[in-house]
Chains A and B, each alone.
Chain A
Amino acid sequence: MRGWRLALLMVGILLIASVTGFYFISGGPRGGESSLTIYTYGSLFKYGDDPNATYAAVFGAFERQYNVNITVRYFSDAGDIIPALLSERNSPKADLVIGLTSVLAAKAKQENLLQPYAPPSLSKVPTYLVNDLDPDHYVVPYEYGLIAIDIDGSYINESAYPSIGSLSYEDLRAPALASSLLVENPATSSVGQDFLLSQIVFYQQVLKSDWKPWWRSVRDYVKVVPGWDDAFGIFSSANTNYHMVVSFGTDPAYSAYFNYTMYRTVVPQHNGTMYGWLQIEGMGIVNNAPHADTAKAFEEWMLSDVVQNLIPLNEWVYPAVSTVQLPDVYKFAIDPSKVSILNNLVPTSQLAQNLPQWLEEWQSIMAGS
């Protein structure tokens, strides 16, 4: 056989061999029929010591107990779940969605993608959490985080800023501080969106004034980045100029637990009160889900003590069920009971309705108007 033909054949064989090999390494097609399909965000339960162990404890245990086969479909971002559900609307493949925040929940409801269900253990969840997310129980909470501002104490501390401990929005308007702040872009990030909402609700409901001037004064100073990963990546890099970042109130607990650099974290204050915004995560049963009953059982399971106890150290936010004992490291985190919850001040439906306009206004302001 002539030289080049032989070479070609060998390359072809090699290619096929490696592809087949990989196929087998990756375990072949998923075995068995799924009897519960869950759509969720990519980092669900991934932040703990041992995500594989956590996965087994949350999903494996349920599978054994109820004799089902769970398929978890991870989306890089919870926001991608809605379009997926929309496209499957006529023949849903998903049974349960985990990870919808207030705005996403509102959209899902609006599009009739979910069916309402209140698991029995919902009574263990504080009412304000349930109502701030969805009073109609299409989406019910399983955890909640607190939006806060992380501060690198080695650069920004009491010696330069004596009142840093009671940081307010007004304080942040000062160029010195504003130019040290990393904010996520509400047009591209859910954390950013929550920060914007918190700022808007604070100004409108607490200060009873316009929220826009604040952004006009800081827009030339703050660093706005697309997402939390980018923000934190810049914040924690060695040669950065930015020593404050919008993040979560539980960050110090995380740092303490894993022995990372400890940052201080604050929630903006006003007249001695902390005004914080909760990022409430919820779950919902898909409308016309093929396995609705199993999904309902899983929702109940998510609110069980077993799973709720896993949340603090694996999700690094607060479990919805209030009776759960928080681990020791959480003494470094902000205590949500000491925070005045801004979510309580406006119904979610109204927020969802106003958000598009607010986003547009924000984008215009940042672009210079």
Chain B
Amino acid sequence: MAILGALPLAFVGLFSYFPQLDLYLSGLSQGDFLRVILSPLSRLAALNSLTQALLSATLAVLVGYPGGLIMARYRFPLKGAFQATAIVPFMLPTVVVATAFTATYGPAGLLGKALPWLSFMADGFTGIIAVNVFYNAPLVMFLVASSIERVDPELLHAASIFGGNRLHYIRRFLLPQTVSGAATGFLFTFLYSFMAFAVPLIVGGPRNFTLEVQIYTLFKQYLDFRGAAALALVQLAGLGAASYFYLSRTIAAAERTPASTGSAFTQEGLSLRRRRASTLSVLMYMAPVGFFLFAPIVGLALESLSGREGWSFDSYARLASTIVTTRLGIPLQSIVFNTVFFAAITSALAVSLGLISAYLTLRVFRSGRKYELFLFLPMMFSPVTTAFALYVALESQPPFNLIWPLIIASHVLVALPLTVRFLSNSLSKVPSELIEAASVSGSSRADALFRVELPLTWAGFVAAGAFAFATSLGEFAATNFLVTPEYTTMTVAVYQLLGLRMTQEAYALSTLLVLASFAIFAVAFRLQEELSLG
């Protein structure tokens, strides 16, 4: 058990803490810290980060929360498609999203042409928030959904017999369970938005630069490595402390709400005939939100189809041609293979390590919170320094000099906090009595895990796996830093195509990325539905 528990710790320790600390602690002095803290630019950057993060997180939760409730409680046609659409933004490179937004909401865009006031969505501070919400509201949805236990219809009946109505039940049982999901969604969105690099710059312009940008600038342009490291440490300390307090309070609060011992998995089906009020309110939510999530993707697709002379599939044709292969130095199918391979391995690793962590935190350790925080902290390491630190610390040691293990490692590091959360949520919803019943019936801990807990937590697996996969597909910064030509992934290829001025092809590739992943996720979520109907 202890050896197993050490695995995720070792992984994160080796790939994240060790390189970072190595980099940070080499020769930083007090003067360095003072210098960066006192700089007005640093303070402005911090303020920008904070306002963008707070606003994005709040809006993302407001937008995503109802979606999460809907996803957990109802079955409806095209649900898998909706979920897949929701997760797709996670994978898109920033410039693609920015362009997609412009293509949709910009003055010359799909909608912008008819409704010019929409341009606030694609530009400036408001544009930054819009894009952040686009990226993160789906994550909030999934986190909230995963924190709700499936409703036991008997409990509902019992509640109504005792005088409460459905609303009462919702208020007393359902909603408290979702607090932890919403809180986690808030935290993740906050962190992602706080540490955003490209989104604020492309969409908002130089005055919206975040702390991460400032670290980057110190690192690359001022070549002030110590300053960059100092600032990164300050950011880490601040975010780390805030996250710790936030996490302990919200998770503790959530753990105090009673878990009902639902013995059924049924979700309600929706139909206009039978449950008019519910169905209508669901539609009222899904229409605008679904639209918000889907429109930019349509914009992107259209972007890829527009040539100089109007619509054409030329860009796709060229993408498949040998010209692209030669100029990129690697065939398209290899790029696709690399991408899928990395994503699959990342998913498998992130889910396994996440499962170990979640299980240990929930079932074994008393101070599980510290364990989870250890795994969580790397989220707050500056991405700019992460890839570089990884390279410097490990590149020369075999087998890492093959580079591709490092790429996978960096992907897993990014995905791990997410998978741990999803699996944690799922595992914690298994009534402890079932595990006790299993124990008393002769199951060892492992046996109970595999035969009772895991089968009841498929939803968590799929969500964890899907997000890990999506994260890997969309990871750009670290991959771009580490990659060698033969390991190019699709997101890196998009930027390379842009560099080669094959702009339409770049957007075409992005659209393909979107469509392919959409298909994969739609299937995965449909499967999840099937499995959980038990």
Contact = CB atoms under 8 A, between A and B. Distances in A.
Find out whether A and B make contact in their complex, taking CB atoms under 8 A apart as touching: yes
Interface of A: 4-5, 8, 11, 15, 18-19, 22-23, 26-27, 29-30, 43, 46-52, 74-77, 79-80, 82-84, 86-87, 93, 103-104, 107, 185-188, 193, 219, 223-226, 228-230, 232-234, 236-241, 254-255, 258, 260-261, 355-356, 359-360, 363-364, 366-368
Contact of B109 (A233, A239, A355, A364): A239
B303 A229 contact: no
Interface of B: 39-41, 44, 95, 98-99, 102-103, 106-109, 197-198, 201-202, 205-207, 209, 213, 216-217, 219-225, 303, 306-308, 326-329, 341, 344-345, 348, 388, 391-392, 396, 398-399, 401-402, 404, 450-451, 480-481, 483-487, 495-496, 498-501, 503, 506-507
B217 A19 contact: no
16 contacts: A18-B341, A27-B486, A48-B327, A83-B219, A185-B201, A226-B198, A232-B499, A239-B108, A239-B109, A240-B108, A241-B108, A260-B501, A356-B224, A360-B39, A363-B217, A364-B40
B202 A46 contact: no
Contacts of A49: 326-327
A88 B344 CA distance: 34
B321 to A, nearest CB: 13
A43 to B, nearest CB: 6
A230 B402 contact: no
Given A52-B326, A234-B95, A240-B106, 4 more contacts: A22-B404, A50-B327, A185-B201, A360-B41
Q: Which 4 A-B pairs have the closest CB atoms?
A: A238-B306, A187-B217, A236-B503, A366-B206
Contacts of B205: 223-224, 366
A193 to B, nearest CB: 6
A252 to B, nearest CB: 12
Contact of A367 (B44, B219, B345, B498): B44
A230 B97 CA distance: 11
Q: Which of B103, B107, B398, B498 has the most C-beta atoms of chain A within 10 angstroms of its own C-beta?
A: B498
Contacts of B404: 22, 26
A166 to B, nearest CB: 26
B217 A254 contact: no
Nearest to B506: A233
B206 A233 contact: no
Contact of B450 (A4, A104, A187): A4
B399 to A, nearest CB: 8
A255 B328 CA distance: 17
A26 B486 CA distance: 8
Contact of B103 (A87, A238, A254): A238
Contact of A188 (B216, B485, B486): B216
Given A84-B391, A238-B103, A367-B44, A188 B222 contact: no
Which residue, of A22, A27, A107, A219, has the highest number of chain B Cβ atoms within 10 A? Answer: A22
Contacts of A83: 219, 225, 388, 392
Best-buried of A107, A187, A254, A359 by chain B (most CB within 10 Å): A187
A237 B99 contact: yes
Contacts of A27: 486
Nearest to B485: A74
Contact of B207 (A43, A79, A232, A368): A368
B220 A19 contact: no
A67 B144 CA distance: 62
Contacts of B41: 360, 363-364, 367
Contacts of B483: 76
B476 to A, nearest CB: 10
B95 A238 contact: no
B202 A226 contact: yes
Q: Is the interface of B mostly helix, strand, loop or mixed?
A: helix
Contacts of B348: 11, 15
A12 B453 CA distance: 20
A80 B388 CA distance: 8
Nearest to A55: B329
Contact of B392 (A87, A187, A363): A87
Contacts of A356: 222, 224
B503 A239 contact: no
B429 to A, nearest CB: 20
Contacts of B303: 237-239
Given A83-B219, A84-B392, A188-B216, A232 B206 contact: no
Q: Which of B206, B328, B391 has the most CB of A within 10 A?
A: B206
B329 A46 contact: yes
A225 B221 contact: no
A346 B414 CA distance: 45
B221 A77 contact: no
A24 to B, nearest CB: 11
A86 B399 CA distance: 23
B527 to A, nearest CB: 16
Which of A27, A50, A236, A237 has most B Cβ within 10 Å?
A237
Nearest to B349: A15
A35 B496 CA distance: 29
A53 to B, nearest CB: 8
Contacts of A86: 225
A359 B221 contact: yes
A188 B481 contact: no
B206 A229 contact: no
Contacts of A240: 102, 106, 108
B401 A29 contact: yes
Counting chain B CB atoms within 10 Å of each CB, the highest count among A4, A76, A261, A355 belongs to A76
A232 B487 contact: no
A187 B209 contact: yes
B480 A76 contact: yes
B217 A229 contact: no
B303 to A, nearest CB: 6
**Residue among A74, A87, A186 with the most chain B CB within 10 A?**
A87
Contacts of A363: 41, 206, 209, 217
Contacts of A185: 201, 206
B51 to A, nearest CB: 13
A51 B216 CA distance: 30
Contact of B481 (A5, A43, A76, A234): A76
Contact of A233 (B327, B345, B498): B498
B220 A79 contact: yes
Given A226-B198, A233-B503, A187 B221 contact: yes
A365 to B, nearest CB: 9
A237 B103 contact: yes
A187 B213 CA distance: 8
Nearest to B408: A19
B367 to A, nearest CB: 29
A234 B484 contact: no
Nearest to A15: B348
